[in-house]
Amino acid sequence: MKLLSRLMLLFCCCLPLSAQAAEPLRFAYQDRIGDALSIIAVKKNLFSAEGLQVKPLLFNNGPACSEALFSGAVDVATMGDTTAVSAVTKVPDLRIIGSHGAGESRHRIMVPANSTMQRIRDLKGKRLGVKKGTSTHGGLLALLKTRGIAVGELKLVELDPDTMPAALAAGSLDAFVASEPTPSLAEQQGAHELTTLAGLGNSYPLLIVAKSATLQKREAELKKFFRALARAEQFLVTHRNEAVMMLSQATGLTPEMTRRAMQRHSYWLQLDPHTLASLEQTAAFLKEQKKISQPPAFTKVMDTRFVSDLKKTGK
């Protein structure tokens, strides 16, 4: 009996890796409008449809996804542009492997329902909530510069986006600027839009990041991962109403507000020149704000093999 057990153990150890049970790919994503492709892929089991085992882990912000990636708790993660640029600057082993969404208009300046402000200049002397060091902050500074308004003419209030709608409703702020879904959540409570941060040359891309070691060890799985997201991209086109309901449930927005928020985003998998230019703009802002010492060499930290594979396979 002992001999049989030893033989079975030896047989199992000699099996090729492909024959043994593979560890699932651990995926950190967010419950935000911008993460539409991730949410759909998880909800519709599209990773399984590509023959891929994925362990999805849901977070409510990009920095949390980034920390999970740093610590080794996940293999691949979604995050916004400022978080991704900061991450690849601090950790040389990280790579940006795709953009899954973007949207010039997804950052908005919101004011209370009873506000009489109609122009950017009306913000002078007012309390404006903003999360400093983010792409929203960078876009705000760029917008003020184009309008000839000095930052010191506003009273910037450092605030986490999660608390902005309540602060605005309570009268603690005269306005706030943030990315979706925060503006839409405030809109549900009666706030309205003063303007967006569009037209400043930045698409504010949403990114997918992984460690370089993961790319080498699990390249075949990551190709399947991207194909599943490509399925989600197609689903978004062909089943828009169902996608709206999924995102509504994930974000807490009403279906109608969700539909309107989605229109401020583009959802497609790529790493195109405009995305690169946007990241370079964001990196320059982060250096100016002393959040990073030097912009990363994007030609080294961006790996296009997976989005390129989608073009080859016609996904």
How many structural domains compose the chain?
Answer: 2
Rg of the chain, C-alpha, whole Å: 22
Task: Give tens-digit pLDDT for 160-192.
Answer: 999 999 999 999 999 999 999 999 999 999 999
**Mean pLDDT of the region 206-222:** 97
* 150 pLDDT higher than 60: yes
The pLDDT of residue 189: 94
Domain boundary among 151, 177, 196: 196
pLDDT band at 315 (very low <50, low <70, confident <90, very high): low
Q: Which two tokens stand for residue 299?
A: 């030609």
Residue 38 and residue 285: Cα distance in Å, rounded?
Answer: 28
Same domain for 113 and 207, yes or no, is no
Structure tokens at 16: 């090729």
123-137 per-position pLDDT tens digit: 999 999 999 989 999
**260 in the same domain as 234:** yes
For the entire predicted model, the pTM comes to: 0.89
Distance CA 234, CA 241 (A): 13
State the pLDDT at residue 22: 73
Shared-domain flag, residues 88 and 109: no
In degrees rounded to 5, what are phi and psi of residue 196?
-115, 175
In terms of residue numbers, what domain contains 39? 24-103+203-313
Kindly state whether residues 234 and 255 are assigned to the same domain.
yes
> How does pLDDT run across 250-286, given as a tens digit for each residue?
999 999 999 999 999 999 999 999 999 999 999 999 9
Evaluate if residue 312 carries a pLDDT over 90.
no
The domain boundary, picked from 155, 178, 196, lies at 196
Within a domain: 302: yes
Q: Are 34 and 265 in contact (CB under 8 A)?
A: yes
Residue 8 belongs to some domain of the structure: no
H or E element that contains 155: strand 155-158
